[in-house]
Amino acid sequence: MKNYLQLWLPRIVLAPSFFLILVFVYGFIIYTGYLSLTDSRMLPTYEFMGLSNYPKLFGLRHWKIAVNNLAIFGILYILICTIIGLLLAILLDQKIRAEGFLRPIFLYPMALSFIVTGTAWKWFLDPGIGLESIMHQWGWESFHFDWIKNRTFAIYTVVMAAVWQSSGFVMAMFLAGLRGIDGEIMKAAQIDGASGFRIYRRIIIPMLRPAFLSAFVILAHLAIKAYDLVIALTNGGPGRATELPATFMYSYTFERNQMGLGATSAIIMLIMIFSIIIPYLYSELRSEKES
C-alpha cells in the first residue's frame, strides 16, 4: 500500500501543472506555429498558405531594424553584465568588511521590474529634466548627453538600463560559484608563488565555467524577450530606432492586424531561444550522465 502511494503521489501532485503546461505552453506554441503559416489578420484564420510569411518577414525593414537592435543589445548586455558581475563578485570575495551590507545594494536593482527601471532611466537620461539639465544647473554648461533622444545611440541607453538592472544578479551567481571553490586550491597556488591575478586567470575563472554558462543562458533569454524595458524607456523611439523583436511581435499581432506576421516573428524568437537553450541542456544532461 505504502509503495503504491509512494509511486503515485508524485504523479498525482504533478499532473495538474503538467497538464496546464502541456496546453498553455506547448499547445499554444503549436497554435502560434500554425498561425504563422496562415494569412491571419485581425483574428486568427485557418487557411493554410505555407511558409510565405517567413520570406515576407525578413523582407521587412522594420524587422531588420529589430533584429539589428537585438544583436547590438544582446551582445553588449551579456558581455557587460558578465564582466561587471564577475568583477563585483571577485571584489566582494576579498573578505572585505560590510560585505553583508554591500551585497544587497548591488542585488536590489533586480528586485525592480523592468518597467520601473525603464521609467526611472527615462527621466534620468532625459536632457530636459535629467542628468544634462542637472549638470547645466551646476554650472557645467558644455555638458552634453542626449543619447536617449538620438536615433543612433538610443539603443545603447537601453543597454545601460538593462546592465544596471541585471549585473547585480550576475554578481550573485558568480559569488555563489566563488564560495563553492575550495580555499585549499588558492592556498596551494599561493605557496607555489602564483600572483593574485594569475590565480584568478588560470584557476578560479576556469573553475567558474558552470556559473558562466548559467549566466549566459539567463541573460540571453532575458535579452531576446526584452519588451517592457524598451516600452518604458523609449517606447521604440526615437522614430523606430529602438524596436526589438518582442515589440515588433506585439505591434504586428495586436496593433497592426497582421497576426500571421506577428506569429512568424514569435516563432523566429522561439528558434533563437531554442538555439541557446538546447546546446545548454544537452551539455548539462551529458555531464550528468557522465558523473
Partner 1 sequence: MVNKYLVKSLAASLVLSFSASQAFADDVEVLHWWTSGGEAAAVGVLKDDLAGKGVGWKDMPIAGGGGDAAMTTLKARVTAGNAPTAVQMLGFDIQDWAAQGALANLNDVAAAEGWDAVVPSALQAFSKHGGNWVAAPVNVHSTNWVWISKSALDAAGGNAPTTWEELVSVLDAMKANGITPLAHGGQAWQEATMFDGVALSLGNGFYKSALIDLNEDALGGALMVEAFNRMGTLRSYVDDNFSGRDWNLASAMVINGDAGMQMMGDWAKGEFLKAGQKPGSDFVCIRFPGTQGAVTFNSDQFAMFSGSGSSAAQEAMASSVMNPVFQSAFNVVKGSVPARTDVPDMMFDGCGKKGMADLAAANAAGSLFGSMAHGHTVPAGIKNAMYDVITGHFNGEFSAEEAAAEMVSAVAAAK
Residues forming contacts to partner 1 in the complex (CB under 8 A) are 23, 27-28, 31, 41-44, 46, 56, 59-62, 122, 126-128, 146, 148-149, 151, 234-235, 237-241, 251, 254-258
Q: Which is nearer to partner 1, 41 or 179 (CB)?
A: 41
User: Hey, how many other C-beta atoms are within 10 angstroms of the C-beta on 289?
Assistant: 7
**Running DSSP on this structure, what letter comes out for residue 47?**
-
What is the secondary structure of 190-246 as a DSSP string?
HHTT--HHHHIIIIIHHHTHHHHHHHHHHHHHHHHT--HHHHHHTTT-STTTT--HH
Residue 46 identity: Y
Residue tagged 531594424 (cell numbers): 65
Q: How far is the CB of 107 from partner 1 (least distance, A)?
A: 30
Inter-residue contact 85 to 169 (CB < 8 Å): yes
Shortest distance in whole angstroms from residue 123 CB to partner 1: 11
Nearer to partner 1, 42 or 277 (CB): 42
Helix (H, G, I), strand (E, B) or coil at 45: coil
Q: Which of residues 144 and 201 has its CB atom nearest to partner 1 in the complex?
A: 144
| Separation of alpha carbons 119 and 21, rounded Å | 33
* Residue at grid coordinates 517567413: 54
CB of 199 to partner 1, least distance (A): 48
Q: What is the DSSP letter of 38?
A: B
Least distance to partner 1 from the beta carbon of 222, Å?
Answer: 24
Q: How far is the CB of 208 from partner 1 (least distance, A)?
A: 40
Output 42 or 115, the one with its CB closest to partner 1.
42
